[in-house]
Chains A and B, each alone.
Chain A
Amino acid sequence: MQLAELYQWEIETVDGTVRQQYVDDGTEYRWQDIPAGEIIRASIVNRVTHVRHDCMFNRDMGEQFVRRFGRGFIRVVSGGDQEEHGIAEYTHCIVTTNYRLYVLSTTGQSIIAHKYFELYL
């Protein structure tokens, strides 16, 4: 399993339906097809350990899911004789109307940040 696939998103809607990014038939679910206003929970879940990071949305307070994305970081070495290998980090991010949740795939570290904060490593 490549680093980018170690975690996946999971979304629960107001009717109790839970959808995960990776479907058993090998396809991938599109979060864009889920109305944001119906989402009551968005999570980033480790597919091996099942450790999860949950964002719970208080719809009565106007808090909503906005989008999610993954951000990959590749290190290219120049000069010297040092070599690094492959994707150095892959972060998953859930963007909400109030904040962002970033999870680093290499360590499982989570970071809560301003809703416009762009995490670079």
Chain B
Amino acid sequence: MAATVQIHEMTAAGAGVDKTSGTLRFKSADDQTVDSSNRIQIPGAGSVYSYTKHIRFYFSTGPSVDIQNLRCYSDGGNGLGTGVGLQYDIPGGGLGTFPNIATNIAGTDIFTKTAGNPPTSVDMDAINTGPHTSTGYKGDHVRMQMSVSSAATQGLTPSETITCAYDET
């Protein structure tokens, strides 16, 4: 049967929380709870950064043959509001080697990554290459971080969607 594929927010090197049906809340605390606590305070000057969040593909049931071409992308337009950004990188070692931090990861603006094959989109199996079989965590971690500059306005940001795609044989 077709694989059951999820996107997890990682909590440890080999563990995470299913966010396929949920929301990533960027905040000033290292947790996966979606609430209004630990809000990011707008700085008087410069920028501040949320704790990083790692996402990764998880197969709760494996494919009959294999899955490959893991990638993710944005809609290409930053709708989070003035002074708010979302950057990413692909840390080779994942969360076990790169714990979540609230300092600037100097990543790539995720809104430069749009629908299409990599490098137009983010390649999520460049390091942990496919084809992927069986169950468990597959492909690469995408580490994301929200930046908030002094130009931001207070309040809840509009939502943005990251699309994760895969090809199942």
Contact = CB atoms under 8 A, between A and B. Distances in A.
A70 B64 CA distance: 12
B156 interface: yes
Q: How large is the interface on B (under 10, 10 to 19, 20 to 34, 35 or more residues)?
A: 35 or more
Contacts, number: 117
Given A4-B3, A80-B158, A75 B23 contact: no
A121 B163 contact: yes
Interface string B135-169: 00000000010100000000011111111111111
B1 A83 contact: no
B159 A22 contact: no
Interface string B56-81: 00000000110000001100000010
Contacts of A72: 5, 165-166, 168
Interface string A67-87: 101111111111111111111
A30 interface: yes
B165 A78 contact: no
Given A75-B161, A78-B162, A69 B24 contact: no
Contacts of B160: 77-80
Interface in B102-121: 115-117, 121
A17 interface: no
Given A79-B146, A86-B20, A120 B156 contact: no
22 contacts: A22-B1, A67-B169, A72-B165, A73-B165, A74-B5, A76-B161, A76-B163, A77-B159, A77-B161, A78-B144, A78-B161, A79-B26, A79-B80, A79-B84, A79-B146, A80-B159, A81-B156, A81-B159, A82-B159, A118-B117, A120-B116, A120-B165
Interface of A: 2, 4-5, 22, 26, 28, 30, 32, 67, 69-88, 90, 118, 120-121
